[in-house]
Structure 1
């Protein structure tokens, strides 16, 4: 009886562990914050140069040239939409964009080839 309980517990933990890593690592790679959307991990990075978004799927970079991206920023009751420009590799950028603390940022991505959509919402601190 006890052996069956231990075996069942071990199987449940193993299933939980593999489910947690199904999309690859969600650890930020560029100093930003991440959200999971479907199979993608989206990282939002704010800096003095603007806003960058990095996209990976199962720990592999997703080519930015294959995506259309847009940010919607809500701050102080006002909304602003900004188109993301594809950069090298898996980088999409909004150069010169400043996002204030307390803003809500929605990243919307659409695959150019298949029209697949991914969304991530970030509460900026």
Structure 2
């Protein structure tokens, strides 16, 4: 009985040592100097610019075409709240025009038709 127990423990220890680590889809590192958020295996990178912002979409580290995607960006700046349209800009980019983003701003991008789904992505400017 004791020998069976030792064999069981040894087998379990060996199987734990040979297990492969679980890796996420993509590394969520910014490729354009922005802020990256992951939603449903898609990465959204928000890059603030002087005249608005660009959002880049990636699906498993490959650019995702934004054709047909629309939405609204809600920006919370302290007690002020503004909404701006999000429009496709070709390739894997979406554009938001006419908004000034700064440190501490909280953003919510409500996107329609992302692979046939509606998605909400939240960002905080640090």
TM bucket (normalised to shorter chain) is: 0.7 to 0.9
Aligned-residue CA RMSD (Å): 2.0
Shift of residue 2 of structure 1? 4.1
| Selected match of 2:93 from 86, 91, 102 | 91
Structure 1 residues 88, 119: CA separation in 2 closer, same or farther (over 3 Å shift)?
same
TM-score (norm 2): 0.81
- Counterpart-to-counterpart distance in 1, 2:33 and 2:113: 25
Distance 1:7 1:113 in 2: 39
Matched residue pairs, number? 118
CA contact 1:25–1:58 (8 Å) conserved in 2? no
Larger helix fraction of residues: 1
Gaps of 5+ in 1: none
Partner of 2:16: 8
> How far apart, CA to CA, are the structure 2 residues paired with 1:76 and 1:68?
26
Q: CA deviation at 1:10?
A: 3.6
TM-score norm. by structure 1 comes to 0.82
Cα distance 1:63–1:9, how it changes in 2: closer, same or farther (>3 A)?
A: same
- From the CA coordinates, give the structure whose radius of gyration is larger: 2
In the TM superposition, 1:28-107 aligns within 5 A as: 28-107=30-109
Distance 1:97 1:10 in 2: 51
Q: Is the 8 A contact 2:69 2:87 kept in 1?
A: no
- Specify every segment of 5 or more residues in structure 2 that has no aligned partner in the other structure, as ranges: 1-8
Q: Which runs of 4+ in 1 moved over 3 A?
A: none
